[in-house]
Amino acid sequence: MAASFPSQTSFRRLPRNVQDRIAKRCIRPAGAGWLVPRLKDVSVRLGVSITRAKPRHGKLALELGDGTRRQVDHLLLGTGYRVDVRRYEFLDSALLEEVRTVDGYPVLNPRLESSVPGLHFLGAPASWSFGPIMRFVSGSWYSSRELTRRIVAAGAVPRSLRLPRAVRRSRCQRAQSFTH
């Protein structure tokens, strides 16, 4: 079996408090430095809910959850979301009770597998165990390769559908060259 790339396995070996600091730094409301001067006259509010919005004289009248009112030309909502696999309605509730979680994230082993054998999580749900890069397309090279390995190793892919070893190796090498 080929070794995993250091970026994902190294993150898993860091102390949890260091992992949490890295994740917080990588996943936060922020923009590029060049945006700061362009937005100096733009009002930005974080963590506020909108209770009412109504068009008024070519503008938008807002009532906010903190009781304040505003009239704006444009409104952009960055709603975000929180991972909580226990709220996944497409998974049976009895199954979800068996998934070990921390703050809604499944705790995954090095094979992206949860505490329920055969149940794997990719993308944002994998970020608690594998780091913030898992939330982005740039992290899919690792998770897709790792999950594919597990499926093939379990014999879930018929031999007739498997690519020859030389083709798999050359594709993997090309994909890795894009990530480094």
> pLDDT tens-digit profile of 86-111?
999 898 999 999 999 999 999 999 88
Strand partners, 106: 101
Q: How many CB atoms neighbour CB 86 within 10 A? A: 13
13-53 pLDDT per residue, tens = 888 888 888 877 776 666 677 888 888 888 777 778 889 99
Average pLDDT, integer, range 121-127: 91
State the SS3 of 41-96: CCCCCCCCCEEEEEEECCEEEEEECCCCEEEECCCCCCCCCCCCHHHCCCCCHHHH
* N residues, the chain: 180
> How is the chain split into domains, by residue range?
102-179
Angstrom distance (rounded) from CA 151 to CA 174: 22
> Letter for the amino acid at 125?
P
105: Cα separation from own chain's centroid: 10
Indicate the range of 47-61, 81-95, 151-165 predicted with least confidence: 151-165
**pTM given for the model:** 0.57
Helix (H, G, I), strand (E, B) or coil at 30: coil
